[in-house]
A and B are shown apart, each in its own frame.
Chain A
Amino acid sequence: MVILHLAIILPFIFALLAPLLNRLLPRVHTGWLMLPVPVVLFAYMLSLIPVIREQGDLEGTIPWIPSLGVDFHVYADGLSLLFALLITGIGSLVLLYSIFYLDKNKEKLVHFYVYLMLFMGAMFGLVMSDNLMVLYSFWELTSISSFLLIAFWHKREKSRYGALKSMVITVFGGLAMFAGFLLLYVMTGTFSIREIMGDASAIANHALFIPAMLLILLGAFTKSAQFPFHIWLPDAMEAPTPVSAYLHSATMVKAGIYLVARMSPIFAGEALWLWLVSGLGLLTLVYGSYRALKQVDLKSMLAFSTISQLGLIMSLFGLGSAAALYTGTAQAEFYSKATMAAVFHLLNHAIFKGALFMVVGIVDHETGTRDIRKLGGLMSVMPITFTIAMIGSFSMAGIPPFNGFLSKEMFFTAMLNIRTMELFGMEAWGTLFPVIAWVASIFTFVYSMLLVFRTFGGKAQFDKLEKKPHEAPLGMLISPVVLATLVIVFGLFPNLASYSLIEPAMAAVHPGLLSPGEQFMVSISLWHGLTIELFMTIGVATVGILLFLMHKRTAVLNQPLFAKAILNRSYDGGMRMMERLSGAITRVYMTGSIRHYLIYIFVFLILAIGMTLFSEDALKVDTTGFADMTFYEAAILIALVLSSVSVLFVTSRLTAIILTGAVGYLVALFFVIFRAPDLALTQLSVETVSVALFLLCFYHLPKLKKELVSLRFKLGNFIIALGVGTIMTLVALSASGTRPFQSISHYFLENSYKLAGGKNVVNVILVDFRGFDTMFEIVVLGIASFGIYSMIRLKLKEDGAEGG
């Protein structure tokens, strides 16, 4: 047990306490009571920075299910520290923001903060876990708490739709990831990420290596909203804005990126990994940025922007994995620059996207709409908000001197570097990478400009708004101001972060690259000379500005190319089709007719036994041990067959009952000649009783519609009946032909009088040797009689009243 464990559990404790605290202090906004949690955790995480840098990683274990190798093992290294700082830092700011955003009297605050604390704890635990199963538990907990948060306004149809969609998609990926983890366990025999990394080279050629990788990637891609699993993210925008800012820009969507980074040491060096992660990342980047252009809703715009930025980070982590292919430090470090860019942009994106979401929340809160067609000219009314929005957007667009500029430069560097790689067909396709990146950057630039100038610039059209817009209250502005300040600080002094955060994080992603004691030398400077990247950025800005100015006139840009969201429609259609299909399938076989169910059962019986019989070659008919047939046996047999067969052909029920009785008495006769007097006696009495009961039923058949018709012939039924009969005969013949061991009946015959003092062996077996069976058989009888009694006596009418 280390303090880290306590830190992970702390939010959960507060989630438990939230209702109580709210009850105790009803006048205080619950958010104030929750705020200390992330602040304390953030401070603790800050205090860990020098510790991890100087003394190495922290870890600790609490046994959970030791017999299965599942332990609550926490491990803090540079990567988890970076994520933990984001989670707690932005968590604090979002909590502060939500205190002013959510009305104390109108909203169910306790619900909100319980969910939020759950999410925070789960996310924190996720990045700190070393055990795959614990990681998976926290992973699903983030899915669930996010589901709850998206549907916070659960009376809205769209909230529920968005929540359900995100749940379905992320849980689908989560389960795939779970399977991938299990495959890793199969290969290595451990759930510890650290130990699996140690084994990484040994399992690289295992047959399950690629399946495990694909499954884990599926989990990462769904969580991080990569193409084509991104569709849940725009719909998750129905959540309250603090939730969007926290979950859907800074933390949860980065869980997949965390997973990719965390698993990099295991899977990097595999061509498929590099191509999938970076390729899909790039595709997401360009698709997301293009779609963001088309949005008129500010939050949707930010959602697609998040998708595209996540694709950017993802592709960088994919390219960074190229470093694992090279052993020479200089060359490896050349490619590991992509990882550096990824980590830096991860940090930057969380900061500016958090700020932007908060800005949009403020605009929504103060004007009542998020539609950019209705907004405009807010610059003079909301100057502070405008400043923040501008800083955030410019950073997102990659304009100096903000931090987005630096990470975009590094992104271009990484994309250009990859061209020089001569593996995996990169020499042929590598050139595409920077081109796509460049085009996507232009789109990014344009929508960033649209975001700012459509909202805050242009003509004021306040008459279209529900409220008269004015600047937000101070409390709401604190958090975005802090974030915007950070944007500038990291933009001007990027090395603040590089020593403390980026280097340890890179060391965690590339553990094998450094010899002990070495550290990555990350040095990011605002001005790096007249490089090709700089010209690319200038190009982005030029084309971007041109496009922005033409935006109103250019049909290509104005008219959505994907007017109908194909992916969403196929998701909805797929869901509907699955429902209809499963409904149709169920209706086909669940007919409600017992006849049909019996057909299924019998057909299955025939197939299962028949196939076993033939595939195992068990069909043996050995007549050597058979006794000779006597005249009486033959006579009774013929009578028996005649009477049973004629049951099928008689036209009246009465005859059928009597024939059944005849069969029963003939069986009793069989018992007589096979020397089973007890059985014969019982059979006679029981047959009599059952025939009497049959007659009773016959007598009570309803008078109306009483048809005395013969059984209709159905070929299917005939074949099935024939099949069952044949199969059972074959089984009986085969079974009687082989007798692998001696019967135990000798024991009963010898010991019946000696041990139980009875000469009637049957009865001694019934009451003494196997009395247990008899006991429960009479219980069965008793239950049957009480069942009949209550069925007849207890006639409840439909309204529940007892009838006579």
Chain B
Amino acid sequence: MKPNDVILKSVTQVAAVIILTFSIYLFMNGHHHPGGGFIGGLSMASAIVLLYLSFGIEKVRENIRVDFKKLAAIGVLIAIGTGMAGVVFGQPFLTQAFGYRDLPIFGTTELASALIFDTGVALAVIGTAVNIILSISEDR
């Protein structure tokens, strides 16, 4: 008989949203407060793992159609790409730039190329963590 884990599933539904939000917060906030791509990525991975734990691998895979192996590769490529951007503008490799712009909703916002780099870090971390756990758990 399959155990009835309705409480787990219900809690997960709520908790996943909170963890995901928190991880995005950690990620976006990294430039000025504790957090950043690494921790943001890890916590997002933990949310995904939680989903796997509660709903099973197959079901999550149907809903999140992301190949985490590719995600890791894309993350690394993004990180290298931001480095190359500096070269394109005639600067040394991995030169980061930042500036303040007036955006419609957010008002005066700081935009930093480091954020893109951090995105690469985050994607690589998510891809790596989930990929490792998936590989091991699918091992027979």
Contact = CB atoms under 8 A, between A and B. Distances in A.
Is B truly associated with A? yes
Interface of A: 677-678, 681-682, 685-686, 688-689, 693, 696, 756-760, 762-764, 766-768, 771-772, 774-775, 778-779, 781-782, 784-786, 788-789, 792-793, 804
Contact of B36 (A685, A688, A767, A781): A767
A778 B124 contact: yes
A758 B32 contact: yes
B69 A786 contact: yes
Given A693-B132, A766-B36, A789-B69, 20 more contacts: A681-B26, A681-B39, A685-B42, A686-B42, A688-B46, A756-B98, A757-B110, A758-B31, A759-B31, A759-B32, A759-B33, A762-B36, A768-B114, A772-B93, A781-B125, A784-B132, A785-B69, A785-B131, A786-B131, A789-B135
A789 B94 contact: no
A760 B42 CA distance: 18
A781 B136 contact: no
Contacts of B79: 774-775, 778
A767 B113 CA distance: 10
B104 interface: no
Given A778-B76, A782-B72, A771 B117 contact: yes
Contact of A779 (B38, B76, B117, B131): B76
Given A758-B114, A775-B79, A785 B72 contact: yes
26 contacts: A681-B26, A682-B39, A682-B42, A685-B39, A759-B31, A760-B35, A762-B34, A763-B36, A766-B38, A767-B96, A771-B83, A771-B96, A772-B93, A775-B80, A778-B79, A778-B120, A781-B72, A784-B128, A785-B129, A788-B132, A788-B136, A789-B135, A792-B136, A792-B138, A792-B139, A804-B140
Closest 8 CB pairs of A and B: A677-B34, A757-B98, A778-B124, A759-B32, A785-B128, A758-B31, A685-B42, A763-B36
A758 B31 CA distance: 5
A677 B31 CA distance: 13
A758 B75 contact: no
B117 A767 contact: yes
B112 interface: yes
Interface in B94-140: 94, 96, 98-99, 110, 112, 114, 117-118, 120-121, 124-125, 127-129, 131-132, 135-136, 138-140
The secondary structure that dominates the A interface is: helix
B34 A778 contact: no
A526 B125 CA distance: 98
A681 B131 CA distance: 21
Nearest to A685: B42
Nearest to B82: A771
Contacts of B31: 757-760, 763-764
Contacts of B112: 756-758
- Name the residue in A685, A771, A788 with the highest tally of chain B Cβ atoms < 10 Å from its Cβ: A771
B75 A778 contact: yes
A682 B43 CA distance: 9
A779 B127 CA distance: 12
A207 B37 CA distance: 66
B39 A767 contact: no
B96 A678 contact: no
Contacts of B110: 757
Given A693-B136, A760-B32, A778 B42 contact: no
A775 B43 CA distance: 20
A764 B69 CA distance: 27
A767 B110 CA distance: 16
A778 B33 CA distance: 21
Contacts of B136: 693, 696, 788, 792
B87 interface: no
A756 B114 contact: yes
B8 interface: no
Contact of B96 (A685, A756, A785, A804): A756
Given A696-B136, A757-B112, A789-B69, A678 B34 contact: yes
Nearest to B123: A778
Contact of A785 (B118, B132, B138): B132
A194 B35 CA distance: 74
Nearest to A774: B121
Nearest to A786: B69
Nearest to B36: A763
A788 B139 CA distance: 11
A613 to B, nearest CB: 36
A541 B113 CA distance: 103
A681 B22 CA distance: 13
A439 B75 CA distance: 89
B73 interface: yes
Given A768-B114, A786-B69, A793 B135 contact: yes
Contacts of B132: 693, 784-785, 788-789
A774 B33 CA distance: 18
A801 to B, nearest CB: 18
B32 A788 contact: no
Given A774-B121, A778-B125, A781-B125, A788 B135 contact: yes
Nearest to B120: A778
Nearest to A700: B139
B15 to A, nearest CB: 15
Contacts of A685: 39, 42-43, 46
A774 B26 CA distance: 18
A760 B30 CA distance: 7
Contact of B30 (A763, A782, A785): A763
A682 B122 CA distance: 13
Contacts of B26: 681
Contact of A782 (B98, B118, B127, B140): B127
